[in-house]
Amino acid sequence: MVLYKQVVTLLKKEILLEWRSKYALNGILLYVISTVFVCYLSFKTTPPLVWNALFWIIMLFAAINAIAKSFIQESKGRLLYYYQIASPQAIIIAKIIYNILLMILMAVIALIFYSIVFQNVVGDELLYFVAVVLGAISFSTVFTMISAIASKAGNNSTLMAILSFPVIIPLLMLIIKLSKNAMDGLDRSVSIREICVLGLINLIVIATSLILFPYLWRD
C-alpha cells in the first residue's frame, strides 16, 4: 500500500513537471513529425513491407531519444531527495508507467500522422493498433532500465544506443512480425503466439528491473 501511494505520488509529479514545461512532449512530437516528413520526401510512396519497417525504425529512434532523458535530466539534488522519500521500486515503477504513457501517446500521434502522409492499406486495423501499443510498452520497459544503467555510466547517449539495441532487437523482430500479420489481415489466431511471447518478455524485463534497480540506485 505504501508502495502504491509512492508510485502514484511520483507519477503525478512526473506528469506535473512535464505539463509545466512540455519540453519532452513537444520535442519528441516535433522529432517524430519531422522524421516522418523527411522519410516522406525521400520515399514518396512505399511498398507495404517498407512502410511497416520504416514506421518501426522511426519509432525506435524516437523512443531511444525520448526515454534516454528520463534519468539523465534528473539533477543530483533531486535524486537525493527521491532517495529520502521513496523506495527504489516505487521510483522505477513510476518511471516505467510514465514512459509507457508518454510512448503510447507519441506512438498513436505518430501512427495517425504517418498514415495520413503515407497512403497504405492495413488489413486488420485493430490488431495493428494493438501491435503499436504493445511496441510502445516494450520500448518503455526496456529503455527505462537501460537509461538508468547508462545514466550511471556517465550520461553518454552513444552508450545508451549500444546497450539498448541488442536487447530491443528480439522484441522489435516480434513486433514487426506481429504488425506485418495485421497488415496482411491474417486471422487473429495466427498472431496470438507473438502477443504471448511479447507479453512474457515484457514481464521478465519488468521483473528483472524491479530486482536490479535497487542495486543500481544505492550509490
Partner 1 sequence: MHKNWWKILGAVCVLYTVIGGLLIQVPTLPILHESIRNLYFHVPMWFSMIVLFTVAFINSIKYLSSGNENDDLMAVESVNTGIIFGFIGLASGMIWANFTWGAPWPNDPKLNSAAIATLMYLAYIVLRGSIEEEQKRAKISAVYNIFSYPVMVVLIFVLPRLTDSLHPGNGGNPGFGTYDLDNHMRMVFYPAVLGWILIGIWIMSMRYRIRLIENKRNHIHS
Q: Is the dihedral of CA 131, 192, 137, 50 positive or negative?
A: negative
Could you say whether residue 215 binds partner 1 (CB under 8 A)? yes
Nearest to 185 by CA among 119, 121, 132: 121
Answer whether 113's CB lies under 8 Å from 27's CB: no
Whether 167 and 147 have beta carbons less than 8 Å apart is answered as no
Among 167, 186, 195, 210, binds partner 1 (CB under 8 A): 167
* Under 8 Å between Cβ of 171 and 127: no
Residue 149 sits in the site that holds partner 1 (CB under 8 A):
yes
Contact 11, 91 (CB under 8 A): no
CB of 188 to partner 1, least distance (A): 17
Q: Which is nearer to partner 1, 17 or 210 (CB)?
A: 210
Q: How far is the CB of 197 from partner 1 (least distance, A)?
A: 6
Q: Which of 174, 176, 182, 206 binds partner 1 (CB under 8 A)?
A: 174
Q: Which is nearer to partner 1, 35 or 147 (CB)?
A: 147
Where helices occur in 44-87 by DSSP H, the ranges are: 48-72, 76-85
Binding positions for partner 1, rule: CB under 8 A: 145-146, 149, 152-154, 156, 159, 162-163, 165-167, 169-170, 173-174, 177, 193-194, 197, 201, 204-205, 208-209, 212, 215-216, 219
